[in-house]
């Protein structure tokens, strides 16, 4: 059953990739939507991931997918969500907690999203070494309980990836 589920997931991702490729090959950049903002924290984390919104696309016969990139630029941290423009509504519905908020709460919700959905991210050793033991433990606990096939939700102010928080 696991193998069949993985094949279905691969097929759904491939359908989205084909649409991204079409936009690139035809230079129809308007087919791709973006939401970009800066985090008020020094660079210390990088993310490159593509994942499902868990919502069915109204335009394609698949789930709506998004790419998330978090990267340093000119001494700041930039966040970029990219998606097929036809999936705009599903993207905003799925990530309203991040896209519809600001400041510390936005960074907190983004931290939880990264830990819940992204396998490919790095935290600089300099930043990680500033985290207290409880912050490291809570981050690890949440990440481990959200590996593919599992879902765990919790609220804890220490689920924060951009700066250390006091224990």
The per-residue pLDDT for range 19-78, each reduced to its tens digit, is 999 999 999 999 999 999 999 889 999 999 999 998 988 888 788 999 999 999 999 999
Q: Tell me if 118 is assigned to some domain.
A: no
Q: Which residues of 14-31 are buried (b: 16+ CB within 10 A; e: fewer)?
A: eebeebbeeeeeeeeeee
How far is 138 from 134, CA to CA, in rounded Å? 6
Domain count for the chain, please give it: 1
Measured in degrees and rounded to the nearest 5, phi and psi for residue 95 equal -120, 30
Q: Rounded to two decimals, what is the model's pTM?
A: 0.90
Q: Tell me if 20 is assigned to some domain.
A: yes
Q: Tell me if 89 is assigned to some domain.
A: yes
Q: Tell me if 126 is assigned to some domain.
A: no
Domain residues for 95? 2-102
Strands 121-123 and 76-84: unpaired
């Amino acid at each position: 059953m696991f193998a069949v589920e993985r094949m279905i997931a691969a097929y759904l991702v491939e359908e989205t990739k084909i649409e991204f490729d079409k936009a690139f090959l035809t230079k129809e950049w308007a087919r791709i939507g973006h939401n970009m903002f800066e985090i008020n924290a020094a660079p210390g984390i990088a993310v490159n991931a593509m994942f499902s919104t868990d919502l069915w696309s109204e335009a394609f016969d698949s789930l709506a997918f998004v790419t998330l990139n978090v990267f340093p630029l000119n001494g700041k941290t930039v966040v970029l969500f990219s998606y097929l423009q036809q999936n705009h509504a599903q993207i905003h519905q799925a990530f309203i907690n991040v896209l519809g908020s600001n400041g510390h709460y936005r960074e907190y919700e983004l931290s939880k999203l990264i830990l819940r959905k992204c396998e490919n991210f790095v935290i600089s050793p300099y930043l990680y070494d500033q985290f207290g033991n409880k912050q490291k433990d809570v981050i690890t606990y949440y990440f481990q309980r959200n590996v593919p096939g599992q879902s765990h939700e919790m609220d804890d102010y220490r689920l924060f990836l951009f700066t250390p928080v006091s224990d």
